[in-house]
Chains A and B, each alone.
Chain A
Amino acid sequence: MIKHYLKYSYQILRKDKLFTLLNILGFAIGITVCSLIAFYILYEYSFDTLNKNYDRIYTVYSNADRACATTPFVFGTTIKNKIPGIQKSVQVLDGLWVLPGIVINNKILKIDNCYSADPELLDIFSFEYLSGSKIIFASKINSVLISQNTAVKYLKKDEQAVGKPIKIYMGGLKLNLKIAGIFKDAPGNSHLRPNIIIQIDNIKKLIPPKELNNWNSSAPTTYVLLTNPSVKSRVEQQINKLVPVNNSGYHLLPLADQHLRASNISFLIGKKGDINKIYIYLIIGFFTLLIACINYINFNTAKSAMRAKEIGIRKIAGANRWTLIKQLAAEPLILSCAAIPIVVALLALTLPYADSIFDRDIQATLFTNWNYFFALLALILLTGVLSGIYSAVLITVYKPLDLIRNQMNLKTSKSYFRNSLLFIQIVIFSGLIMSSLIIYRQMQLIKKIDIGYNKYCTLVTTFPGPPYYDQFKTFVKELKNYPGILNGTIASVVPPSEKDVIRMIGSSPSTKKAFCYSYIECDENYKDVIGLTLTEGRFISDASADNEIVINEKLEKDQRLKHAAGKYIDIFGKKLVVGVVKNFYMNSLYEPIEPLFMAKGKNISSYLALRLNPKDLSGGINLFKNKWKQFFPNLICDYFFIDEEFDNKYKDDQYFGTLIGTFSIVASLIAVIGLIGLTTYIISKKKKEIAIRKVLGASVFNIVYVLTKETLIITLFGCLVAALISNYFMEIWLRRFAEKISITPDIFIIGFCITLLITISSVALLAVKAALGNQMDSLRNE
């Protein structure tokens, strides 16, 4: 019997090649998109699960002003061995001040993910050793562990590297260390991905003891390994009892939440995920699967309706309903199986692209876990067969005689059902088109918006803080002698920077109203290098007194001042406002412009910005690099450009836009395939009607109108609902931007036109063909 089913199904599928091909293709595309999203979501949820202590590891974060995952050095020693619920604790520093480097053949090469940590790190987190051991590492302060990749990339050797000396620059100082072991690189789905691990005591030696005991300075991240997850809240209470009162407010973040549910906590080590993104992808994935399944159901229902006579004959020949359902489900099964190689091929083609869109290394992790593939196989077969069974159940409900005479009522419930499926498809893909139009406009706005400074041709580098201030001042002076470099400045922060902006909280002495102002420490060249516009007074000068400040318009407004230049204001002591600059976006466009003031100083500066001559950019860069080597042979030369950094800030949203755009194309494609299938079916059912109309004198246009009318109405209503839904969700998305477009009706009109063009063009072509064709045969058959 099974042989009969399969053979017969194969013949049926072969007979209608186009129909079969469209069906398989639509299904395969839908499943591919869905699996890509599923892979991404599984990947995001798999973060850190490889750690054997996964459920007992917690990150300490403070939540006094805003959530922050750094702790004072003294915190580590304070809690060590004093809280019964904590089995082990470790403090980890990801670099210090400037990018770490490794010395190879007297050259310093920059290396990221260079961690300094207590030896307990290796007991708490799971690392796999290829050679050497953590015992040697723990016993000697000058020992270092390196990853396999680092060993191969920098030392050009693998396991033999153990015991060899290595020089590492960190925090501006050189450390002579010995390799104690090599560990396997942590997979992409691990938040800690060290290339090098050195003992944190090396770093502590560089820091004055006063700082090490200072409860107000924060640097390393502290992880704790609890004896049991249930003791968490007790441990939190105990921690807060041990630390000084004004520093209390420490909490424990479970490792399981670190990747996806900690977007509000800053300074967490490693790549951060976003649970909201997961939800968005989940919705998109669900919709794509829904569209694909709807197609599949539509195709199969149409197909089985075309075979009503055959099913009737089988019923008369003695087939019961269940037997027929089994037979009709054999076809989708064959189709699903045929879709498998296509899905695999599409996945192979799209995975590298998906990796770059998602900014993840899914491809590499995929092949380590076969569960992904079993899940994929199950998804294909289940969706295929379930959608198939659904249409089989629909058709077999009829009595054999009705089937033979093809007397299933097309105008009734079934066509409502099919139309509602079409409606859902149109809502989804039209909604996606409208949303991508909105995202596109917003991204265009970001490009055009007046950010208040000149982001072009500005090179930025960082240096290890105040000890180097004077040297860097001399460095800038030297560079300015060359035509490639127009100007240079040293400051505590340059835009667009989020993490290094200092926010000072105070209250007005007269009104007692609290305020929070951003503060930039800079020199007299800051305005010219960054390209700020002065609206009143002058900028701070070399000769400025310590209490002279320059404020932005926002602060001027906040203090309810008019023509503030030359006036004294009382913020953090009496200050003389010497000038006002036009508002500029210190951070990204996600955040509104904050009231801000600038003052001269060299206490916290660690940024150097150079305005290069646009006519000789590469000359300027080369000069900078050469002079750097000359001035700071022991410091790594690492720099970026403000405009690149600015664009990076919106990378996520640009990816998001690309993604929504891609999905709207895919969804439209699948829907078009479905529409073609559906129209072919409807036309085959209406052959007689078309013939009669033609006999009675209908023009081609009349017939095309009759055939496309329904689709037209559904498209119209579909777009209306899509507009409402996308308007709702895009309003939410736009809330993240301080400067945003207003959603105007023309977006929806354009979206409607695109949708209409897609649906009508796929339907009208077939309708015209049907109207022009010879339908008389269908009358002759009567």
Chain B
Amino acid sequence: MNNPNTEDRLNQATSTRLAELANRPVDTSRLAKQLEQVMRDETEHEPAVLKMPQRFWRPTSAAAVILIAVMIGWMVIQGSSTPAIAAPAGLAQIYHDVTNELSPHAKVSSIQEANRVLAAQASGAMLVPDLPGQMQSCCLHQHEGITLTCAMIQRGDQLITIAIADGSKLQSPKGKMIERDGRQFCTHTVNGINMVMSHENDRWLCVMGDADMEELITVAQAIIF
């Protein structure tokens, strides 16, 4: 088939016919019944609320309840506005999962392709900036309740993973600080994995791998937000 218009028409007809299969009814009644049973079996049943003695509701007790509620509310507000602290051990696990392809990811060959994939996966995903290496894959990971954009690049024979997050939501843990060209980098090593973290222009960055620390700092220096 050499005529592109004819080929388009063939593909469209095939695609349309296949799409009709999505409207084919399926009988989910038995599956629904089985799942209902599993849900009943697996759901924790919280203990019945203990009946509170009437004296609890004396005015003094009620005031105490209000005070506790206000304190809890204040703690929740404080907690939600405080950035999480990145955990090196968790990041090392992410590095392991990314390099060993143990987590869902997309194989990509360019930054543009990676950002298209990430945008399709989650509308608010942090995009990947220019990276000093050949793009291999990208993915999203949850870490300390924060979504990380992760990209794996190859430099020479080394695989390096870059994690990026919203800088207002994630901070680096205390570590050995290294300054290069006026920029501050926080370094960690966990299970043989070196990590270089920075916090610039409202972005949190972590460059990690089993490359030596200097190599990772060079990579981190090349990443500009």
Do these two chains interact? no
Q: B-contacting residues of A (Cβ < 8 Å)?
A: none
Q: A-contacting residues of B (Cβ < 8 Å)?
A: none
